[in-house]
Structure 1
Amino acid sequence: MTFATKADIFTYADFNLQALCRKASTLRQGVTCTCDPGQRPSTGSFNWAIFVTFEDKVRWVFRSPRSRASRALEMDMKLLASEAATLRYLRSQSDIPVPEVFDYCASSNNETGVPFILMSEAPGWPLSKVWKSTSSPQPSLDSIHKAKILSQLGSITWKLSQLRFDKMGSLIEENGTFSVNECLSRGHMLHERYSLEISRGPFTSEAEFYDSLISALFEHAETLQLSHHCFIAPVPSHDDYPCDTQYKAAVDLWSDFVTIGGKIDTADNRLDFIVVSDALRDIMKKLLPPTTNPETFPLCHPDLSVNNIYIDDDYNITCIIDWAFASSVPESMLLTIPGLPQYRDEISPELHAPFINGFIAAIPGSPEDEPVHKYRKLIERSGVFWKLSRLLNLDSIDEYNLFATVWQCAYGPERNLSQYFLQQQRSAHYIRLYDEVQQEDQPLSKIEKDEKEYFRDDEFRKTIAKKLTLVSEWKYRYTDNVPRRLRQDMFVTSAKLWKWIQRFIEDWESSN
C-alpha cells in the first residue's frame, strides 16, 4: 500500500496552486507563471511565503498568515489588509523603497483558498547576512558600512516624518482612498493583547495614544501570560558576560530562581507590572516633549530589524519589508534611533551620529534653519522614548532597567525608585489588589509538581534558588503583616549577582 505525501509547498496551508499561477499570469497580461511545489515556504511568527516565477525570470512573493485560533485569525486579516494599504500608500506618496503590492485578499473567500498578499520580490539581500549579533561567532559588519546604513535609515525616517495624518492608527484602503482606522501597533496586538478590552483608536492626541498602551500593559499584567518577563529578575543579557559558558550558566540560575514558586505568572510579579503601569500615567504628564506639528502624526515602521532591511553589494538600502503592525504614531515614537540587529536591541552610541546626520541631511533648506535645530534636539533626546516603547510593548528582557531610565528622566535623582516601590507594595490599595489577583494563581500542588519536574532531584540548585527567593522576600512584599523585614531596599537581580553565585558554586564544587 502506498500513501500520498503532501508537497512541501503545502506545509503551512492547503491552497489552490493552479489558481495562484493563473492569477499571477493574468496580473502580468498573460506572461507564463510557474511555482515549484517542492519549495518549502519561508516562515516567520505570523506568515508563510513562497515564490512564483515568470518565464522572463521575474519573481513575486505570495504571502499568507499562518493558521491560528479564530479570534487571532481575525487579527491576522486586519494586519494583512492594513499592511497592503500601507505599502500602496508608501509607493504612491514617497520614494521609500518598499515592495509593490499587485493583489491582496484579507479573507479565504477567493480562488486561492487562503488570505494573501501578492507582491514584488525585495531586490538585494537581507542585512542580517552581515550584521551579526554580539553572540554570533561570525565577524560583524565593519563600523564604516554600519554608519552608511544608519545614515540611510535616518533619511528614510525623515521621509516617514513627512507622511502625516490627523489621527493615530493603522491605514486601510477603500476604493483607492486611504484612511486611518483602529491602531494595530505591536503594543496593541501582540502577546494576545488583541483580546483585551482597551481603546484602540484612532487617537487624536499623544496623551490618548500613550494612555491606551499603558492600559494594554496594565490589562496584560493582570490577565495574560507574562512569558519570560519577571520585573525584579530580568533575563541575563549576553553582553554582560565574557563567554557563552558564563552567559548560559547565568540563564540557568535565572531560570532556577523564577521556577521556585512559579514566579512569573503569579500575583507578586503581576502587581509589580501593575505598579509600573500606574506610575507611567503620572510620568507621561511630565515626559511628553513638544512636537514640530501637534495636529498631525507621522507613519512609522514597527520593526526596522536587520531581517527587514535589504541592501545591495554597495550597502545601499534597496527595500524595507514587513510593514505589519504599522501605524501613525506620536512624533516622539518615530524620532528614535532604531535598535539593531533587532528592534529591541539598543544600538551602539557611535552609530547615533550617522543616523542623526542622515536625518538632518534629508531636510530641505539650510542646516541653520530653526526646524533643523528642533528636529536635532528631538532625536538627541529620544532615547527615553525608545526605552518607553520597549517597556510598554513588553519587547525586552529587562523591564526593570527600562522603567528605571524612564523614571530617572521624569523625576531625576530627587525621587528614589526603590523607596517608591516599597511604599506602593505596602499600601492598602495594592495589598487589596494583590489579594484579588492572587485568586487566579496556580494551585500550590501544580507549582510543586512543576518544580519537581524542573529540578529532577538536583537539590543543590534548588536550595540556591530557594535561598535567593528568601532573600528577595518574594512572598512578603505586598503585605503589611510581616513584623520585621530584612530588606530596606528593592531586590533586583543583576549580572553581578549571577556572577557571584557562579563563583560560589565553583568554589563549592572544588572543595567537595
Structure 2
Amino acid sequence: MTSQQVVLREARLNWKTNIDSECLPSPIDWKALEEYAISFKRKRSNYDGEITCNVSAEYNMGGLHVVRRLDFQDGTTWVARLQLQKATPESLERLLNEVHTIQVIRERSRIPVPELFTYEASDDNAVGVAFMIMEFVPADTAMDSFGGWPVHRGKIPAPFRRKFYTGMAKIQVELASVRFPKIGSIIKLSNGEYSVGPIPRIGGPFDSAADFFEAWAKCAKFPYSESTIRARTPSNLVDRILISIRDFPSQLAKFAKHHSFQEGPFPIIHTDLYTSNILVDSMCCIQSVIDWENTIVAPWEMVEFIKDLSIVPPVMDGPLYNETESDRELLAERKRYIEVIQTWERVRQLDSKLSTVLDHWNTQSLAHAIWLYLEGRIGFYTDVFKSFELE
C-alpha cells in the first residue's frame, strides 16, 4: 500500500456517520453500489482477480446529493455522489451538463477538479438513483473546515483569508479562460468536441447577451408570494418593493434591447463559488472545486465575485441601506482581489475582460441582483438600472 493510499484511508473529514438516521427521499441500494463499483473497477483495470469494495460509514449530504466513499481492498478510494430525488428530464439534463463541464474544465484549464470515472444519468439501475463515481479528494469543504459553521459562520478564518482569496482569484481567471462562441450549457458531441446547448428552463443556445437576458426575463420567477414579502418588509416600503420585484424581469428585457453588452466568446461560470464547494487542506490551500451541476457559458455581465466577496447592491436596500465597517473592509478586499486577477491575467497572457467586468460597479450590481432575484432576496430590484442611466 502506498503512502498516498494510506493518507486516503486515514483522512479524517468532517463527515457524518449515521446515515440510517437520515430520511432519504429515494431508497438507495448500497450493496448494489458496491457491486457496480467492483464491476467497473475490474473492467477499468482489466483485472480478473478478487476485488472487494465497502461503502464507508462516513457520508456527507447537501440539498440534492449524498456522498459516500468507496474503499477497495487494494487501498484505492473513490467517492460516489448520488442524487437524493428520483430522476426527471431536467435532472438528467443537469447531470449530463455537469459531466461534460467537468471534462472540459479538466482538459482546458488548470483548475483542480476530481476525475470522473463513470456515471448513471437515470435511476433505471440497480442502485436506484442517478449517480457519479469520481476521484476521492481527501479534503473538507472550506465551509466544513476549521470548526465548521458553528465556529466561523461560513467565513474563511482571518489568518487564511488572503491565501484563500488569492487561490480563488486564480481559479476565476482559469475559468474565464475557457470560452465558447455561444451562451448555454456545455455539451459533448459524438466526435469528442465540446459545444453549447440549451439551458434548462431558459432555452438557447444564444448568440448574444441581449438574447440571453430577454429569455431569462421571460422565465424568471421570484420564489416568494406577496403575502410572504409583506410579512417580511416594512409597511411603508412594501408596496414599492412589490412593484420593483414584479417589474424587474420586464425592465431587464427592455434594458437588454439597448444596452451595449460585451461580445463573445463567452466564459464558463460556476454559479455557486461558495465555501461549500471548495475543498481545502488544513492550511486552507485549495485542493479541488466541486458541484458543477448548474455551470453555464454565460454573458460577461453575469460574471461576479466569489460568494464570500459578493455585496448586495446598496440601491436594492434603498432607504434601509447603512454602510458598515464590515462593508468597507469587504470593498477593500474586493479591490485586492481584482489586483490579483489582473496579475494572473498577465501571467497567463490573457485579455482583461474578467478584471474589467469585476471592476465595473454597475455591472456587478446587475449581475448580483439577477442571482439574488432567483434566491428570493427582497429589495428594490429595478433601481439597479438607474445607475446605468448616469454613465
Match of 1:339? 307
Q: SS of 1:98's equivalent? A: coil
Question: How far 1:390 sits from its partner (Å)?
Answer: 2.0
| Alignment CA distance shift 1:107-1:230 (3 Å) | same
| Alignment CA distance shift 1:398-1:303 (3 Å) | same
The letter for the 1-side match of 2:219 is A
Match of 1:387? 368
Contact 1:170 1:183 in 2 (8 A): yes
| Alignment CA distance shift 1:386-1:348 (3 Å) | farther
Match of 1:349? 331
The letter for the 2-side match of 1:25 is K
The answer to whether structure 1 residue 407 and structure 2 residue 385 are counterparts is yes
| Alignment CA distance shift 1:43-1:138 (3 Å) | closer
Distance 1:344 1:131 in 2: 27
Distance 2:177 2:388 in 1: 29
Identity of aligned residues (%): 20
Match of 2:8? none
The answer to whether structure 1 residue 46 and structure 2 residue 15 are counterparts is no
Question: How far 1:358 sits from its partner (Å)?
Answer: 2.3
The letter for the 1-side match of 2:88 is L
Q: SS of 1:128's equivalent? A: coil
The answer to whether structure 1 residue 283 and structure 2 residue 263 are counterparts is no
Deviations 1:184-215 (A, max 9, x none): 4xxxxxxxxx4xxxx51011100011111111
From 62, 71, 83, the equivalent of 2:80 is 62
From 245, 256, 260, the equivalent of 1:273 is 245
Match of 2:204? 201
RMSD between superposed Cα atoms in Å: 3.7
The 5 A counterparts of 1:283-432 are 283-285=255-257, 287-289=259-261, 291=262, 294-334=263-303, 336-340=304-308, 348-364=330-346, 371-372=351-352, 375-381=354-360, 382-392=363-373, 394-400=374-380, 402-404=381-383, 406-412=384-390
More strand as a share of residues = 2
**Greater radius of gyration (CA):** 1
The 5 A counterparts of 1:163-182 are 163-175=178-190, 176-182=192-198
Q: SS of 1:180's equivalent? A: strand
From 191, 206, 213, the equivalent of 2:216 is 213
**Which structure 2 residue ranges, 5 or more long, are not aligned?**
1-18, 314-326
Contact 2:79 2:135 in 1 (8 A): yes
| Alignment CA distance shift 1:274-1:311 (3 Å) | same
Distance 2:216 2:107 in 1: 30
The answer to whether structure 1 residue 94 and structure 2 residue 73 are counterparts is no
Question: How far 1:84 sits from its partner (Å)?
Answer: 0.9
The answer to whether structure 1 residue 158 and structure 2 residue 127 are counterparts is no
| Alignment CA distance shift 1:43-1:313 (3 Å) | closer
**Which structure 1 residue ranges, 5 or more long, are not aligned?**
1-5, 185-193, 236-253, 258-263, 414-512
Contact 2:80 2:131 in 1 (8 A): yes
Q: SS of 1:319's equivalent? A: strand
Match of 1:106? 121
| Alignment CA distance shift 1:111-1:295 (3 Å) | same
Distance 2:38 2:309 in 1: 39
Distance 1:312 1:333 in 2: 30
Match of 1:14? 28
Question: How far 1:389 sits from its partner (Å)?
Answer: 2.5
The 5 A counterparts of 1:229-268 are none
The letter for the 1-side match of 2:62 is G
> TM-score normalized by structure 2?
0.75
Question: How far 1:178 sits from its partner (Å)?
Answer: 2.3
From 142, 152, 160, the equivalent of 1:127 is 142
| Alignment CA distance shift 1:65-1:376 (3 Å) | closer
From 224, 227, 237, the equivalent of 1:226 is 224
